[in-house]
Every structure is written in structure tokens, then in C-alpha cells.
Structure 1
Amino acid sequence: MSAAKWRNAMRSGAAPVPRRQPRSAQPLQAAPARAPDPYADSAAPPWLKWMWRSLQPHHVFLSVALLLFPFVATPFFTFQVAAQSLVLGLVALSLSFLAGYGGMVSLAQMTVAGIAGYALAVLGTSSSAEISLGWPWWLAVPFALLIAVLCATLIGWLSVRTEGIYTIMITLAIGVAFYYLVLQNYSIFNGFQGLREIQAPTVFGIGWREPVPFYYLCLFWAVAGYALVRYVVRAPFGVALQGIRDNPRRMAALGFHVVAHRVAAYALSGLIAAIGGVLLAWYNAMMTPGSVGTGWLINILVIAVLGGVRHPVGAFLGALVFVLLQTFAIDVIDRERFNLVIGGIFLAIVLFSPDGLLGLWAKLRSRFGPNQTLTTPPRRQA
């Protein structure tokens, strides 16, 4: 308001029109109240604070469903379907971590799992007493994991200096080389017969290869691997790894060691795959060259892509779909044509949803979900 208008308003006794405050000067509305964080001011470890903040209602519902599943399902579904899905999902999770957050597609993750399984059979007990060393399980398992992680680190050191199709070819060559090594070596790996009768441990009188105990064992390590990946990708290391995935040259210019981060990612994914390899050896009670063949190298990639490479839980969803098809599709079609069914489903998922089943679910939810409102013109009143 100008000075002349102000004087005229004062003479007429009218109150001046107040100036409208800018948007930035207007008081902000109070944010909705959030649930109190009991670990905000405590000395709890960061991972515990992260778990509390990340907990959602559907997590609680899914956890209760998974815990109660063995009590409502038959032993066949508990062991053959659920436990196998968790084991294969754990191996596929290691590939999802590398490909989704590191931009590195490795076909050697089943090889790392096979190295852990073979190491467990050689260090522990098996049907080949002249080969196996007979160590107790609590000593053989840590050494098997250590050997697998070291091999995964070596694979990463060899392949991180390449990108794209070259990384895929190098890891595939390593996987094929390990397959022929265990196939033709009889002094350590017992050739094409493999190492059989790999017994799972008995702790506190519980045989851990029984359907229900083995399911809970696999469920524990699957949840641990999932939580580890979710925590790491939000940690400084995971954020730097995603930056390297998007622009490695810029991250190197900022002072980050690109090769070291990538090799560390291979080591971490190798640990996840190694745990899956130990569980796979106990599940099958044997390790043979067929367990690490070219077919299974590709199957792990198919499982990861089916569920969604960018979603850690997608590895387990893809494994569940794969196991269900592997278990029940052979009743409808010929066993020899199972790969044709898997290939067709894989092709359809890639064409309609490059982000896997979870990406397809997100598209359908955004299109037909309850939050979607249709804009219609207002009705004219009579």
C-alpha cells in the first residue's frame, strides 16, 4: 500500500488492508504424530535402530505366516517346496545384490555355493571316507564359508575390471571351469559320482534335516541374508556402491576406490551364496557336478530376474515360482520340456515387466489400486 492511500484511509477512519505474507512466512502445519522411537536416545546398535524404523505391518503379517506355515502344510510342502525355495532364494539374493546395487551380473554365484558345499563335504563327513577329513560340523562349516568367500573375492578381483557382457563371460567361464574340475577330479571331488551322504548336524537332540527343523533353519538364514542386504544398501558402503554402479568415473574422481568397493561387494555376496551352498548340501545330502552345472548357473539368473533384481525379496519370490514350476509342471508336460516352460515364462516377464514380478505388481497396484482416483467432470445442477 502506498503512502497516499495510507493517509486517505487514516482520514476516512477505515483500517488499512494488511499485506499478504509470502508463502515462506506463513506458519507451517504441524506434521502428523509418529510412533515414538524407543531407540532414538539409547545406546542401541545402529542395526537395531534400523530394524525398528523399517518395521511395517505387512512385515509382521508375513513373519507370522512364515512361522506358522509348517503347522498347516504337509512335510512335502515344508521341505520340498518351502525349504528349497528359501535355499535357492538365498543364492539368488547374492546375485540380486551384485546386479541390482552393484551393476555386476555374475553367473558364478552357484559356483561359489558349490565351492562351499564341496568344502563342507571334504572337511566334514561323507560316503567317501578316504576323501573326507571327518571334522565336526561346527568346525567344518566356518572353514567352508571362509574358503567360499575367498574364492568369491578372487572371482571378483578377476572380473571387476570389465563391464557388461565381458563380466558375464568371465564369470560363466569360471563356473564352467569349476564344473569340469569337479567332474574330472577323483582325488578330491570324487568325479561324476560326487560326495554323498552329507549329514546335517544333530543339535540338542534335533536332526536339522527333518522337514520342520530344516525349514526353520533355512528361514532364519534367509531372513538374516535379507536383513543384511537391506541394511548394507543404506549404509555408506552401499550408497557408494550404488554411486559406482551409476557413474564409476565420477565416484573415482570423488576419491572412492572403485575396484575395492566392487571386490568387497563380491566378497559379501559370496558369503550369502556360501551359506546357501551349505544349506543346499544338507538339503540334497550330497554334492555332485550336476549341482554346479551350466544349467544351474543360468537358473539362478532366471530366479533373480523373475522376482526382480532390484528388490531383495524378489529373489525368494522368483525361487518360489521356479520351485513350484519344477515340482508340478512335470505333471502336465514332459520332464524334458521343463526348460521350455521356464524359458517362456522368463521371456514373458522380461517383455512385460523388466523389473520382474514385483515390478509387475507395482504397475498393477498403481493402476488399479485404491489410491487411484478417476477424474470425472462435475455434474451440472438442474
Structure 2
Amino acid sequence: MRYSYLSALSVLIVVLLIAVPLVANSFWLVQIGAQTFIYGIIALGLTLLAGCGGMVSLAQMTVAGFAGYLVSILGINSVNLGLDWPWPMVVLSAITVATVFGTLIGLLSVRTDGIYTIMITLAIATGFFYFTRQNYSIFNGFTGYSGIKAPVVAGIDLREPAYFYYLSLMMAAVSFFSIAYLVRSNFGIALQGLRDNARRMEALGFHVVAHRILTYSIASILAAVGGVLMVWMNGRIDSASIGVGPTIDILVMAIIGGLGHPIGAFIGALIFTLSDNFAINLIDHERFNTVIGSVFLAIVLFSPDGVIGWWRCWFKIGGASD
């Protein structure tokens, strides 16, 4: 009964997500829907790194921002007009180079663990933030780039809210199912073993460093995809997009949703996005951090496994049987 209930619920959620453009306006499609999917994709990489691999990286938004900057520079923008490459080359180059960038971050981080991994990745994120803010020849300094637009593909204008919503939904679905499969694969099981006892796994013949670097690469691909969608959605990118605040926000989303569960990244992103957009209706928007901080504190204190943990607890209390 339990599995049939969950299957029916999953089908209902999928149907609702597909039907949203039929009833929602552009605000709900882009500012809530698409933004949730994009944040979720970026946070999903952190879920893989931290939840499965035990590596808490604060560089996910940095990689996403790097991909966004590449889209601005290689494509078209309103500042220096960009290089005007065809959009497929822009997207492929942005994802590829950003993935290499994220892998290099992994090379610097994989031999550490715990607080040291957090500090190294935070230092990289902070350094990149200040570099983009102060560099005008490549990143256009404090102003950044604006006028970036999603392409028109086969006559479909991805700048239209409904089409952009479906694009973000599709990429989120592909990302989610890919990571859900990866977590259950031999690689994912080995990664969880490395998280729990790296020395024992190394004694069994597993290459600890190689597994961890590959995990950083996979997480970087997710961040890069999210970065491309993010710059298309906002139409601009600047150093503020990759500051310490947005960097920490990704960690908050992953923890709120449930760091050990792929779907938790999207649940956390939804809660964060709703709070960000509607906190002004409860208190002054400048106090948004108070709202999200309170939610974060409640999660950490009462359900270390995030909202997923609450759901599982409620499900057991509800008396659903197998």
C-alpha cells in the first residue's frame, strides 16, 4: 500500500508540474517555478558531494557563476556585445569549461575533509567573487553583463515564460533522475562507502582521490547547467550573483530539503524561493534572512534529515503499511 501511495503521489506531482503553465502567470512560471528548478539543479550537485560523498563544498554557485559569465562573454550582451558565437557552441563551451573549473576546485579539495574542505571551497568562492568584481577586462567588474537572452530554437522562443519553464523543468528532471540512478549505482554505493570509511575502502582497492574528483566533476556539470539557465532567466550576471550570500544559500537549500536525498535539493529550493518572494508580505524584505534563518534553525534542531525527514516521520506516524 505504501509504494502504491507513493507512486500515485509521484504521478500527481508530475501531472501538476506539467499543467502549471495552463493556469499560472509569468511570475509563477519564472520567478517561482523556473527559479526553483535552477536552484535545485545547482543544490543537487551539493547533495551528491555532501550527502553521498561527505564533501561539503561551497563552490557550487561559483561554478554556476563561471558558466554564466562564459555565456555572457561568448554569446551576446549589451555591454561589449560579446563574441556572438552560435548558441549551441556557447552552451557547450560554457558547460565544458565550467566543469573543468569545478574539477580543478575538486583537485585542491579532495585531500581534505570536514571543516578544511569547507574553508578551502569558501576561500575559492570568495576569491572568485572579488576577482570578478575588480576585473573589468574580462568580467566587466562590479557592473557585470546584461542583455543576455535565451535563444530561439526551431522557432520556439525560450524567452517566453511557458517555454522557459518547460526547459527548466526538463533539465531538472534529467538532473534528478540521473543523480537518483547514480546514487544507487556501483559508483554511488562506493562513494557512500568512502564517505563512511575512506581507509577501509582504500584497503579494498578503491581509488579514493579519483572517486572524489569524479564526483566534483559531476557536481560541476550540474552547477554549470544551472548557471546557464540562471543567466538566461535573469538576463544578466554580476559579482553579486556569486557572492558569499548566494554561495551559502545553496547550502541552506540542500540542508532544508534533506542533504541525503536528491529530491531534497528541489524541496529546499522551493521553500527558499517562496520565502524569498513572499517574505515581504510577512515582514520587511530586508529581514528575509530572519525568515529563512528561522526555518533553517528549526530544520537543524528538529529534523537533521531536512523536510524529507519530517515527511518520513509523518508517514510512519500516519500508519501507512507495506
* TM-score, length of structure 2 as denominator length: 0.96
Structure 2 residue corresponding to 1:113, chosen from 64, 72, 77: 64
2:299 is the alignment partner of 1:349:
yes
- Aligned residue in 1 for 2:33: 82
When you count helix as a share of all residues, which structure comes out higher?
A: 2
Match of 2:184, SS state, is: coil
- Aligned residue in 1 for 2:100: 150
Q: Percent identity?
A: 54
Q: Once the 2 structures are TM-superposed, how far is the Cα of residue 330 of structure 1 from its aligned partner?
A: 1.2
2:261 is the alignment partner of 1:311:
yes
Match of 1:191, SS state, is: coil
Structure 1 residue corresponding to 2:235, chosen from 251, 265, 285: 285
Q: Once the 2 structures are TM-superposed, how far is the Cα of residue 137 of structure 1 from its aligned partner?
A: 0.7
- Aligned residue in 2 for 1:125: 76
Structure scoring higher RCO (CA < 8 A, sep ≥ 6) equals: 2
Structure 1 residue corresponding to 2:202, chosen from 228, 242, 252: 252
2:153 is the alignment partner of 1:203:
yes
Read off the aligned partner of 1:368 and give its amino acid letter.
Answer: G
Q: Once the 2 structures are TM-superposed, how far is the Cα of residue 79 of structure 1 from its aligned partner?
A: 1.3
2:170 is the alignment partner of 1:220:
yes
For residues 326-374 of structure 1, give each alpha carbon's deviation from its aligned partner in whole angstroms, at most 9, with x where no partner exists: 11111221122111111111001110000001101111111233449xx
Q: How many angstroms apart in 1 are the aligned matches of 2:36 and 2:319?
A: 29
Read off the aligned partner of 1:120 and give its amino acid letter.
Answer: V
For residues 233-270 of structure 1, give each alpha carbon's deviation from its aligned partner in whole angstroms, at most 9, with x where no partner exists: 12221111111111100110011100000000000000
Q: Once the 2 structures are TM-superposed, how far is the Cα of residue 60 of structure 1 from its aligned partner?
A: 2.3
- Aligned residue in 2 for 1:240: 190
Read off the aligned partner of 1:327 and give its amino acid letter.
Answer: N
Q: Once the 2 structures are TM-superposed, how far is the Cα of residue 310 of structure 1 from its aligned partner?
A: 0.8
The gaps in structure 2 that reach 5 residues or longer are: 1-5
How many equivalent residue pairs? 317
Q: How many angstroms apart in 1 are the aligned matches of 2:66 and 2:177?
A: 24
Structure 2 residue corresponding to 1:104, chosen from 25, 45, 55: 55
Match of 1:106, SS state, is: coil
Q: How many angstroms apart in 1 are the aligned matches of 2:285 and 2:277?
A: 10
- Aligned residue in 1 for 2:3: none
Read off the aligned partner of 1:123 and give its amino acid letter.
Answer: L
Q: How many angstroms apart in 2 are the aligned matches of 1:304 and 1:137?
A: 31
Q: Once the 2 structures are TM-superposed, how far is the Cα of residue 194 of structure 1 from its aligned partner?
A: 0.3
Q: How many angstroms apart in 1 are the aligned matches of 2:13 and 2:294?
A: 30
- Aligned residue in 2 for 1:39: none
Q: How many angstroms apart in 2 are the aligned matches of 1:105 and 1:220?
A: 27
Q: Once the 2 structures are TM-superposed, how far is the Cα of residue 164 of structure 1 from its aligned partner?
A: 0.3
- Aligned residue in 2 for 1:181: 131
Read off the aligned partner of 1:124 and give its amino acid letter.
Answer: G
For residues 187-220 of structure 1, give each alpha carbon's deviation from its aligned partner in whole angstroms, at most 9, with x where no partner exists: 0000000011111101122210211000000000
2:43 is the alignment partner of 1:92:
yes
Q: How many angstroms apart in 2 are the aligned matches of 1:61 and 1:335?
A: 33
Q: How many angstroms apart in 2 are the aligned matches of 1:367 and 1:62?
A: 23
Q: How many angstroms apart in 2 are the aligned matches of 1:223 and 1:331?
A: 31
Match of 1:78, SS state, is: helix
For residues 44-91 of structure 1, give each alpha carbon's deviation from its aligned partner in whole angstroms, at most 9, with x where no partner exists: xxxxxxxxxxx9443322211111111122221111111111111111
Q: How many angstroms apart in 2 are the aligned matches of 1:123 and 1:74?
A: 32
Read off the aligned partner of 2:125 and give its amino acid letter.
Answer: G
- Aligned residue in 1 for 2:118: 168
2:90 is the alignment partner of 1:140:
yes
The gaps in structure 1 that reach 5 residues or longer are: 1-54, 373-382
* Structure 1 ranges of 4+ moved more than 4 A: none
2:24 is the alignment partner of 1:69:
no
